Chain A
């Protein structure tokens, strides 16, 4: 089911959490709302679910499958919501937690006991917690609780799934596993899902589409490849991975980084893996810097340098390349950016 958000603004006192946000989420996608804390991503998710009101405005609307749901109660929206801290019912066993949404139904939608039992056991199997249905939430690990919260949300057969920082409270290893599991689950059940995260790696790895938010606005909306390789502005470039900022100027079509700079300066953004380090610089395309630290544990070599103004530079390269020149700490080398990005508006990191 598709979701459309039109002209939504939300203020908390004087703080503007969402500033005229427009958004369209097509059916069946797994979408990440990515942004730093305070960017409004959780507020947007809660407004879609109906847990939060937005500022009244005649153009503001929220549509599920092209039908407005403004004014509908949370229960009527049939949205599966997974809370950051799971919000499981502590006094209910795993089975009863998952069955909750089915048992509270009244009238003609009521389920019979066997229907509830079959559906809950099916979900417990789906989240791979077979045999743990009689445990209380306090007796489960963080990852298990997260999966129970997910199954509980799925039990009501929601139109789509909203997840608020679903892996935020888990340790790194569990997070990795659960992330992959969630992706596989999504490919299996094809339920439109939106999750909030401040972890760019998580967003890029898991989502079909990434919506980058900042200060209550949407900065960019695109596939992971698009937002990573073609960031629309300096904020997106900076937020989606580490980046170096160089000041330079353009002289007859060529970028000059050498100091001191004269005339009109331009800001150049360069990703750490798009920098070459050379022992000498015959073309004058780079500038000198001193190696301060080399970190070789990991799949790539990470090198930290400082330039003549003591500004830090981060470089990443393959181990093979690193071994080619045998650079060591305190060596002076030349930094040659291979691919620079320039944004029209000025933005400082």
Chain B
């Protein structure tokens, strides 16, 4: 079925799209599977099931989930403030949100480590309360929150902008309190965008390496993240072992994305 279009060339562009995606995304992914297939099943289980690796899964998935949740809440507040209010320096604050996007991850890692260390600006204030950030799991969380924030803010902003003020007025005129208006009207309206932002922040956190390895200190069984273990295996020329762990990450990510997309579809059910 051919439809008239101002710009022709569906065949060509579709071909390029397929070829490009295969080359950039599918080929490397299939190599992971192939490389892993060179192992025996027992070796595979051993590579992905060692105590050290399992501890890293827990940390990586747990901290990523927690960081994305925290970003969901505070990112919402930041986006709301930027959309709803006028204040001096708004554009600067809006630009600051993008900083974690723009900075090389190693630079943010070093910067975060420096201020969170025992003698750093933030770290020295928290030490008297017995809170240590640098070289602990808390540090991993801080780094993941840092890199995830822009994803939530930037996906929420257009939706919040579209949110009609009349809808809030309608809720108020029907007798809803401020909290009811927020909870029953605003939150469900922005939920799909919020979940997209959450998913992006979560996915980014799962794969984050550069900013985490400095602040975490990489203590075995305690603050090692899974991407770090992959790098370590590679440094030991254990390619099969590295890809085996990568496989686990890949499958876990797929499963998580699937469920998040499913719930996103549910949250979006009302729009045509």
A residues lining the B interface (CB < 8 Å): 49, 51, 73-75, 78-81, 83-85, 87-93, 100-101, 104-105, 136-139, 152-153, 155-156
Whether B169 lies near A89 (C-beta < 8 A) is: no
In this assembly, does B231 line the interface, its C-beta being within 8 Å of a C-beta of chain A? no
B164's closest neighbor in chain A, by CB? A87
Whether B164 lies near A75 (C-beta < 8 A) is: no
Instruction: State in angstroms the CA–CA spacing of A83 and B174 once bound together.
Output: 12
Among B89-97, B177-185, B232-240, the stretch in contact with A: B177-185
Instruction: State in angstroms the CA–CA spacing of A327 and B43 once bound together.
Output: 103
The one of B173, B188, B191, B272 that contacts A75, using a Cβ cutoff of 8 Å: B173
With a cutoff of 8 Å between Cβ atoms, the chain A residues found around residue B177 in the complex are 75, 104
Whether A91 lies near B169 (C-beta < 8 A) is: no
What are 23 A-to-B residue pairs whose CB atoms are below 8 Å?
A: A49-B173, A51-B173, A74-B169, A75-B173, A75-B175, A83-B170, A84-B166, A85-B164, A85-B166, A87-B167, A87-B170, A88-B167, A91-B191, A92-B270, A100-B174, A100-B176, A101-B174, A101-B176, A104-B175, A104-B176, A104-B177, A137-B270, A138-B271
In this assembly, does B106 line the interface, its C-beta being within 8 Å of a C-beta of chain A? no
B171's closest neighbor in chain A, by CB? A100
Instruction: State in angstroms the CA–CA spacing of A156 and B191 once bound together.
Output: 27
Instruction: State in angstroms the CA–CA spacing of A90 and B177 once bound together.
Output: 19
B168's closest neighbor in chain A, by CB? A87
With a cutoff of 8 Å between Cβ atoms, the chain A residues found around residue B174 in the complex are 75, 100-101, 104, 152-153, 155-156
The one of A73, A87, A138, A155 that contacts B169, using a Cβ cutoff of 8 Å: A87
The 6 closest A-B pairs by CB, nearest first: A101-B174, A87-B166, A87-B170, A91-B188, A136-B270, A104-B176
With a cutoff of 8 Å between Cβ atoms, the chain B residues found around residue A78 in the complex are 175
Instruction: State in angstroms the CA–CA spacing of A149 and B184 once bound together.
Output: 17
Instruction: State in angstroms the CA–CA spacing of A88 and B164 once bound together.
Output: 10
In this assembly, does B189 line the interface, its C-beta being within 8 Å of a C-beta of chain A? yes
CB distance from B62 to the nearest CB of A (A): 31
B174's closest neighbor in chain A, by CB? A101
B166's closest neighbor in chain A, by CB? A87
Instruction: State in angstroms the CA–CA spacing of A344 and B271 once bound together.
Output: 57
The one of B166, B184, B270 that contacts A138, using a Cβ cutoff of 8 Å: B270
Whether B271 lies near A105 (C-beta < 8 A) is: no
The one of A84, A89, A101 that contacts B175, using a Cβ cutoff of 8 Å: A101
In this assembly, does B172 line the interface, its C-beta being within 8 Å of a C-beta of chain A? yes
With a cutoff of 8 Å between Cβ atoms, the chain A residues found around residue B270 in the complex are 90-93, 136-138
CB distance from B187 to the nearest CB of A (A): 9
With a cutoff of 8 Å between Cβ atoms, the chain A residues found around residue B271 in the complex are 90, 136, 138
B268's closest neighbor in chain A, by CB? A91
With a cutoff of 8 Å between Cβ atoms, the chain A residues found around residue B188 in the complex are 89, 91-92
Instruction: State in angstroms the CA–CA spacing of A85 and B166 once bound together.
Output: 8
The one of A75, A84, A91, A139 that contacts B172, using a Cβ cutoff of 8 Å: A75
The one of B164, B166, B172, B184 that contacts A74, using a Cβ cutoff of 8 Å: B172
Instruction: State in angstroms the CA–CA spacing of A79 and B170 once bound together.
Output: 11
Q: Which of A73, A78, A79, A91 has the most CB of B within 10 A?
A: A91
Q: A104-B184, A136-B270 are in contact. Are A90 and B173 (CB under 8 A)?
A: no
The one of B166, B173, B176, B189 that contacts A91, using a Cβ cutoff of 8 Å: B189
Interface residues in B64-84 by Cβ distance below 8 A to A read none
With a cutoff of 8 Å between Cβ atoms, the chain A residues found around residue B189 in the complex are 89-91
Whether A105 lies near B175 (C-beta < 8 A) is: yes
A76's closest neighbor in chain B, by CB? B175
Q: A81-B169, A85-B166 are in contact. List 4 more A-B contacts (CB 8 A).
A: A84-B166, A87-B167, A89-B167, A100-B184
CB distance from A152 to the nearest CB of B (A): 7
The one of A80, A83, A156 that contacts B166, using a Cβ cutoff of 8 Å: A83
Instruction: State in angstroms the CA–CA spacing of A139 and B269 once bound together.
Output: 11
With a cutoff of 8 Å between Cβ atoms, the chain B residues found around residue A89 in the complex are 167, 170-171, 185, 188-189
